[in-house]
Amino acid sequence: MEPVTVDSENAGQGCEDEVVERLDPEHALKKRGYTQGMVLDRPDKDNFSTMYEVKQTLGKGSFGIVAECIHRESGDRRAVKVLRKRAILTDRDAYRIRREIEIMKSITQHRHIVRMYGAYEDEKHVYIVLELCTGGDMFHRLIKIRAYSEKDAAQICREALSALAHIHEAGVVYRDLKPDNFLFDTDEDTTSSLKAADFGLSAFIVEREYLQSTCGTPMYIAPEVIAKKYNTKADIWSLGVTLYIMLSGKVPFWGNTMQKTFESVRRGRYHFDDPVWESVTEHAKDCVKRMLTFDPEQRPDARTLLKDPWIVDHGLAAARPLVETVFLNLRQFRNMNKLQKRAAQIM
Protein backbone atom coordinates (compact mmCIF):
# COMPACT_ATOMS: atom_id res chain seq x y z
CA MET A 1 0.00 0.00 0.00
CA GLU A 2 1.42 3.37 -1.03
CA PRO A 3 2.13 6.30 1.30
CA VAL A 4 -0.69 8.69 2.12
CA THR A 5 1.71 11.46 1.22
CA VAL A 6 4.94 12.15 -0.57
CA ASP A 7 8.09 10.14 -0.71
CA SER A 8 11.08 10.59 -3.03
CA GLU A 9 9.18 8.94 -5.86
CA ASN A 10 5.88 10.74 -5.32
CA ALA A 11 6.93 14.22 -4.27
CA GLY A 12 4.40 17.02 -4.28
CA GLN A 13 1.22 15.21 -3.20
CA GLY A 14 1.22 16.71 0.30
CA CYS A 15 -0.03 15.42 3.62
CA GLU A 16 -3.64 14.40 4.05
CA ASP A 17 -4.53 17.64 5.85
CA GLU A 18 -2.37 19.86 3.68
CA VAL A 19 -4.40 20.34 0.50
CA VAL A 20 -2.34 22.28 -2.02
CA GLU A 21 -3.80 24.20 -4.93
CA ARG A 22 -1.51 23.22 -7.77
CA LEU A 23 -0.49 25.89 -10.24
CA ASP A 24 -0.53 25.67 -14.01
CA PRO A 25 3.16 25.04 -14.95
CA GLU A 26 3.41 27.94 -17.38
CA HIS A 27 1.69 30.28 -14.91
CA ALA A 28 4.06 29.14 -12.18
CA LEU A 29 7.09 29.75 -14.38
CA LYS A 30 5.96 33.26 -15.28
CA LYS A 31 4.83 34.15 -11.78
CA ARG A 32 7.86 32.92 -9.86
CA GLY A 33 10.69 32.98 -12.39
CA TYR A 34 12.77 29.80 -12.36
CA THR A 35 16.14 31.44 -11.83
CA GLN A 36 19.19 30.32 -9.91
CA GLY A 37 18.66 30.37 -6.12
CA MET A 38 14.88 30.19 -6.28
CA VAL A 39 14.37 26.85 -4.50
CA LEU A 40 17.28 26.57 -2.06
CA ASP A 41 17.99 29.13 0.62
CA ARG A 42 21.67 28.24 0.89
CA PRO A 43 22.86 26.08 -2.02
CA ASP A 44 26.49 24.96 -2.05
CA LYS A 45 28.62 27.52 -3.87
CA ASP A 46 30.31 25.04 -6.20
CA ASN A 47 28.81 24.16 -9.56
CA PHE A 48 27.41 20.61 -9.61
CA SER A 49 28.49 19.86 -13.18
CA THR A 50 32.10 20.82 -12.54
CA MET A 51 32.25 18.56 -9.48
CA TYR A 52 30.27 15.54 -10.69
CA GLU A 53 29.66 13.48 -13.80
CA VAL A 54 26.17 11.97 -14.03
CA LYS A 55 26.03 8.32 -15.04
CA GLN A 56 23.15 5.82 -15.22
CA THR A 57 19.62 6.59 -14.05
CA LEU A 58 18.63 4.53 -11.00
CA GLY A 59 15.01 5.65 -10.61
CA LYS A 60 12.40 8.17 -11.69
CA GLY A 61 9.86 10.27 -9.79
CA SER A 62 7.44 13.14 -10.16
CA PHE A 63 10.12 15.79 -9.63
CA GLY A 64 12.94 14.17 -11.61
CA ILE A 65 15.36 11.27 -11.42
CA VAL A 66 17.83 9.57 -9.10
CA ALA A 67 21.09 8.79 -10.87
CA GLU A 68 24.55 7.50 -10.12
CA CYS A 69 27.24 10.15 -10.32
CA ILE A 70 31.03 10.23 -10.05
CA HIS A 71 32.88 12.78 -7.94
CA ARG A 72 35.44 14.02 -10.45
CA GLU A 73 38.23 14.74 -7.96
CA SER A 74 38.09 11.51 -5.91
CA GLY A 75 36.43 9.13 -8.37
CA ASP A 76 33.92 8.11 -5.67
CA ARG A 77 30.54 6.78 -6.77
CA ARG A 78 27.57 8.63 -5.30
CA ALA A 79 23.86 9.08 -5.94
CA VAL A 80 22.16 12.31 -6.96
CA LYS A 81 18.54 13.42 -6.94
CA VAL A 82 18.10 15.65 -10.00
CA LEU A 83 14.92 17.67 -9.46
CA ARG A 84 13.40 19.63 -12.36
CA LYS A 85 12.34 23.14 -11.36
CA ARG A 86 9.49 22.99 -13.87
CA ALA A 87 7.98 20.22 -11.71
CA ILE A 88 8.16 22.30 -8.52
CA LEU A 89 4.78 23.99 -8.91
CA THR A 90 4.02 25.47 -5.49
CA ASP A 91 5.76 27.26 -2.67
CA ARG A 92 4.96 24.24 -0.52
CA ASP A 93 6.79 21.93 -2.96
CA ALA A 94 9.86 24.14 -2.68
CA TYR A 95 9.51 24.29 1.10
CA ARG A 96 9.43 20.50 1.37
CA ILE A 97 12.61 20.18 -0.67
CA ARG A 98 14.35 22.74 1.55
CA ARG A 99 13.05 20.98 4.66
CA GLU A 100 14.37 17.60 3.50
CA ILE A 101 17.80 19.13 2.88
CA GLU A 102 17.87 20.89 6.27
CA ILE A 103 16.85 17.67 8.01
CA MET A 104 19.57 15.69 6.25
CA LYS A 105 22.14 18.31 7.20
CA SER A 106 21.12 17.93 10.85
CA ILE A 107 21.27 14.12 10.97
CA THR A 108 23.62 12.97 8.21
CA GLN A 109 26.75 12.34 10.33
CA HIS A 110 25.75 8.87 11.51
CA ARG A 111 26.92 5.48 10.28
CA HIS A 112 23.35 4.19 9.87
CA ILE A 113 21.96 7.20 7.99
CA VAL A 114 22.55 7.87 4.30
CA ARG A 115 25.05 10.70 4.05
CA MET A 116 24.28 13.90 2.14
CA TYR A 117 27.34 15.38 0.42
CA GLY A 118 25.78 18.60 -0.81
CA ALA A 119 22.85 20.43 -2.40
CA TYR A 120 23.31 22.47 -5.56
CA GLU A 121 21.15 24.55 -7.86
CA ASP A 122 21.33 25.96 -11.37
CA GLU A 123 18.79 27.60 -13.66
CA LYS A 124 16.86 24.38 -14.38
CA HIS A 125 17.62 21.86 -11.65
CA VAL A 126 18.21 21.20 -7.97
CA TYR A 127 20.81 18.51 -7.20
CA ILE A 128 21.00 16.62 -3.90
CA VAL A 129 24.11 14.43 -3.72
CA LEU A 130 23.84 11.40 -1.45
CA GLU A 131 25.72 8.29 -0.41
CA LEU A 132 25.19 5.51 -2.97
CA CYS A 133 23.75 2.34 -1.43
CA THR A 134 23.99 -0.75 -3.62
CA GLY A 135 22.90 -3.54 -1.26
CA GLY A 136 19.12 -3.31 -1.69
CA ASP A 137 16.50 -2.59 0.94
CA MET A 138 15.89 -4.34 4.25
CA PHE A 139 13.55 -7.07 3.02
CA HIS A 140 15.50 -7.56 -0.22
CA ARG A 141 18.49 -8.57 1.92
CA LEU A 142 16.50 -10.99 4.08
CA ILE A 143 15.00 -12.66 1.02
CA LYS A 144 18.46 -12.86 -0.55
CA ILE A 145 20.00 -14.71 2.42
CA ARG A 146 16.79 -16.80 2.67
CA ALA A 147 17.56 -18.76 5.85
CA TYR A 148 17.74 -15.81 8.22
CA SER A 149 17.44 -15.97 11.99
CA GLU A 150 16.17 -13.92 14.91
CA LYS A 151 19.77 -12.84 15.36
CA ASP A 152 19.76 -11.35 11.84
CA ALA A 153 16.46 -9.58 12.55
CA ALA A 154 17.78 -8.26 15.87
CA GLN A 155 20.88 -6.84 14.21
CA ILE A 156 18.74 -5.05 11.63
CA CYS A 157 16.55 -3.65 14.43
CA ARG A 158 19.61 -2.60 16.40
CA GLU A 159 21.01 -0.63 13.47
CA ALA A 160 17.60 0.91 12.69
CA LEU A 161 17.17 1.92 16.35
CA SER A 162 20.64 3.45 16.39
CA ALA A 163 19.63 5.62 13.43
CA LEU A 164 16.27 6.45 15.03
CA ALA A 165 17.86 7.50 18.32
CA HIS A 166 20.10 9.93 16.44
CA ILE A 167 17.21 11.22 14.31
CA HIS A 168 14.95 11.75 17.31
CA GLU A 169 17.65 13.44 19.38
CA ALA A 170 18.08 15.90 16.50
CA GLY A 171 14.42 16.84 16.93
CA VAL A 172 13.17 15.01 13.84
CA VAL A 173 10.29 12.57 13.30
CA TYR A 174 10.95 10.15 10.40
CA ARG A 175 7.21 9.75 9.58
CA ASP A 176 7.63 7.11 6.85
CA LEU A 177 9.63 4.36 8.51
CA LYS A 178 9.27 1.18 6.45
CA PRO A 179 11.57 -1.52 5.03
CA ASP A 180 11.80 0.23 1.64
CA ASN A 181 13.46 3.23 3.30
CA PHE A 182 16.28 1.26 4.92
CA LEU A 183 19.09 0.39 2.50
CA PHE A 184 22.29 -1.62 2.80
CA ASP A 185 25.37 0.26 1.66
CA THR A 186 26.92 -2.73 -0.17
CA ASP A 187 25.82 -6.18 -1.30
CA GLU A 188 28.36 -7.88 0.99
CA ASP A 189 26.27 -9.93 3.42
CA THR A 190 28.75 -9.88 6.31
CA THR A 191 30.20 -6.35 6.16
CA SER A 192 27.40 -4.15 4.84
CA SER A 193 25.70 -1.57 7.04
CA LEU A 194 22.02 -0.60 7.18
CA LYS A 195 21.23 3.03 6.34
CA ALA A 196 18.05 5.06 6.91
CA ALA A 197 17.16 6.88 3.69
CA ASP A 198 14.50 9.14 2.16
CA PHE A 199 13.53 11.95 4.51
CA GLY A 200 10.99 13.55 2.18
CA LEU A 201 8.22 13.11 4.77
CA SER A 202 10.30 13.82 7.85
CA ALA A 203 9.62 16.87 9.99
CA PHE A 204 11.23 18.82 12.80
CA ILE A 205 9.46 18.68 16.14
CA VAL A 206 9.84 20.67 19.35
CA GLU A 207 10.12 18.70 22.59
CA ARG A 208 6.76 18.18 24.34
CA GLU A 209 4.87 19.27 21.24
CA TYR A 210 3.00 17.18 18.67
CA LEU A 211 2.65 16.90 14.90
CA GLN A 212 -0.78 16.67 13.29
CA SER A 213 -0.37 15.79 9.59
CA THR A 214 -1.35 12.22 8.69
CA CYS A 215 1.74 11.06 6.82
CA GLY A 216 3.27 7.69 6.01
CA THR A 217 2.36 4.30 4.59
CA PRO A 218 -0.97 3.02 6.01
CA MET A 219 0.07 -0.41 7.27
CA TYR A 220 3.03 1.10 9.19
CA ILE A 221 1.28 4.19 10.59
CA ALA A 222 0.82 4.46 14.36
CA PRO A 223 -2.71 4.96 15.73
CA GLU A 224 -1.81 8.38 17.13
CA VAL A 225 -0.79 9.54 13.63
CA ILE A 226 -4.33 8.78 12.43
CA ALA A 227 -5.58 10.70 15.48
CA LYS A 228 -3.38 13.63 14.38
CA LYS A 229 -1.44 14.02 17.62
CA TYR A 230 1.97 12.34 17.62
CA ASN A 231 5.69 12.67 18.20
CA THR A 232 8.83 10.56 17.74
CA LYS A 233 7.18 7.53 19.40
CA ALA A 234 5.18 7.01 16.18
CA ASP A 235 8.40 5.85 14.50
CA ILE A 236 8.84 3.16 17.16
CA TRP A 237 5.40 1.74 16.30
CA SER A 238 6.37 1.64 12.61
CA LEU A 239 9.53 -0.29 13.49
CA GLY A 240 7.41 -2.68 15.56
CA VAL A 241 5.24 -3.39 12.52
CA THR A 242 8.42 -3.96 10.50
CA LEU A 243 9.80 -6.39 13.09
CA TYR A 244 6.48 -8.27 13.21
CA ILE A 245 6.69 -8.75 9.43
CA MET A 246 10.37 -9.76 9.61
CA LEU A 247 9.65 -12.52 12.11
CA SER A 248 6.52 -13.91 10.44
CA GLY A 249 6.15 -12.57 6.91
CA LYS A 250 2.66 -11.48 7.99
CA VAL A 251 1.20 -7.98 8.42
CA PRO A 252 -0.24 -7.15 11.87
CA PHE A 253 -2.66 -4.46 10.65
CA TRP A 254 -4.35 -4.75 7.29
CA GLY A 255 -7.46 -3.96 5.26
CA ASN A 256 -8.23 -4.16 1.56
CA THR A 257 -8.65 -0.36 1.46
CA MET A 258 -6.72 2.44 3.12
CA GLN A 259 -9.69 3.23 5.36
CA LYS A 260 -10.02 -0.39 6.51
CA THR A 261 -6.30 -0.52 7.20
CA PHE A 262 -6.66 2.62 9.32
CA GLU A 263 -9.54 0.98 11.21
CA SER A 264 -7.33 -2.04 11.91
CA VAL A 265 -4.55 0.24 13.18
CA ARG A 266 -6.97 2.23 15.35
CA ARG A 267 -8.07 -0.98 17.07
CA GLY A 268 -4.44 -1.88 17.65
CA ARG A 269 -5.19 -5.59 17.90
CA TYR A 270 -2.65 -8.09 16.62
CA HIS A 271 -1.87 -11.68 17.55
CA PHE A 272 0.75 -14.40 17.50
CA ASP A 273 -1.76 -17.18 16.70
CA ASP A 274 -0.42 -18.13 13.28
CA PRO A 275 1.64 -21.38 13.39
CA VAL A 276 4.62 -19.47 12.00
CA TRP A 277 5.06 -17.84 15.43
CA GLU A 278 5.58 -21.19 17.17
CA SER A 279 9.28 -21.13 16.24
CA VAL A 280 9.77 -17.52 17.40
CA THR A 281 11.10 -17.03 20.94
CA GLU A 282 9.10 -15.28 23.64
CA HIS A 283 11.92 -12.73 23.93
CA ALA A 284 11.35 -11.71 20.29
CA LYS A 285 7.59 -11.48 20.81
CA ASP A 286 8.13 -9.35 23.92
CA CYS A 287 10.22 -6.92 21.86
CA VAL A 288 7.43 -6.67 19.27
CA LYS A 289 4.91 -6.05 22.07
CA ARG A 290 7.03 -3.24 23.51
CA MET A 291 7.26 -1.48 20.16
CA LEU A 292 3.54 -1.94 19.49
CA THR A 293 2.43 -0.58 22.85
CA PHE A 294 -0.80 1.23 21.97
CA ASP A 295 -0.29 4.17 24.34
CA PRO A 296 2.65 6.21 23.00
CA GLU A 297 3.34 7.56 26.49
CA GLN A 298 4.05 3.97 27.62
CA ARG A 299 5.91 2.99 24.43
CA PRO A 300 9.70 2.93 24.94
CA ASP A 301 11.94 5.27 22.98
CA ALA A 302 14.79 4.22 20.70
CA ARG A 303 17.54 4.55 23.34
CA THR A 304 15.59 2.39 25.77
CA LEU A 305 14.93 -0.29 23.15
CA LEU A 306 18.63 -0.46 22.28
CA LYS A 307 19.04 -2.01 25.75
CA ASP A 308 16.32 -4.62 25.21
CA PRO A 309 17.80 -8.09 25.97
CA TRP A 310 16.64 -9.40 22.59
CA ILE A 311 18.06 -6.40 20.67
CA VAL A 312 21.51 -6.07 22.24
CA ASP A 313 24.52 -7.58 20.49
CA HIS A 314 25.08 -11.17 21.70
CA GLY A 315 21.69 -10.97 23.38
CA LEU A 316 18.78 -13.41 23.58
CA ALA A 317 17.94 -13.53 19.86
CA ALA A 318 18.04 -17.12 18.59
CA ALA A 319 20.73 -17.98 16.02
CA ARG A 320 18.81 -20.83 14.37
CA PRO A 321 17.13 -19.99 11.05
CA LEU A 322 13.45 -19.11 11.17
CA VAL A 323 11.12 -21.63 9.55
CA GLU A 324 10.87 -21.69 5.75
CA THR A 325 7.30 -20.40 5.91
CA VAL A 326 8.58 -17.02 7.15
CA PHE A 327 10.78 -16.62 4.08
CA LEU A 328 7.94 -17.67 1.75
CA ASN A 329 5.52 -15.26 3.45
CA LEU A 330 8.04 -12.42 3.27
CA ARG A 331 8.74 -13.02 -0.41
CA GLN A 332 5.00 -13.05 -1.15
CA PHE A 333 4.55 -9.83 0.86
CA ARG A 334 7.36 -8.06 -1.02
CA ASN A 335 6.05 -9.20 -4.41
CA MET A 336 2.59 -7.92 -3.46
CA ASN A 337 4.09 -4.53 -2.61
CA LYS A 338 5.86 -4.39 -5.97
CA LEU A 339 2.61 -5.11 -7.82
CA GLN A 340 0.80 -2.40 -5.83
CA LYS A 341 3.48 0.13 -6.69
CA ARG A 342 3.27 -0.71 -10.39
CA ALA A 343 -0.52 -0.47 -10.30
CA ALA A 344 -0.29 2.92 -8.59
CA GLN A 345 2.09 4.14 -11.32
CA ILE A 346 -0.28 2.92 -14.05
CA MET A 347 -3.27 4.66 -12.42
Residue 259, helix vs strand vs coil:
helix
Report the distance separating Cα 88 and Cα 43, nearest Å. Answer: 17
User: 291-309: buried (b, 16+ CB within 10 Å) or exposed (e) per residue?
Assistant: bbbeebeebbbbeebbebe
Whether the CB-CB separation of 97 and 88 falls below 8 Å is answered with: yes
Q: Is 273 tagged catalytic?
A: no
What SS3 state is found at 80? strand
Write a three-state SS string for 221-247.
CCHHHHCCCECCHHHHHHHHHHHHHHH
**Secondary structure tally for the chain: helices H, strands E:** 11, 9
Sign, Cα dihedral of 286, 287, 289, 295: positive
- Which of the following is catalytic: 152, 176, 198, 308? 176
Is position 81 annotated in a ligand binding site? yes
SS3 of 95, please? helix
Beta strands in 157-314 (DSSP E): 172-173, 182-184, 194-196, 203-204
Q: Which residues are catalytic?
A: 176
Binding site, by residue number, is 81
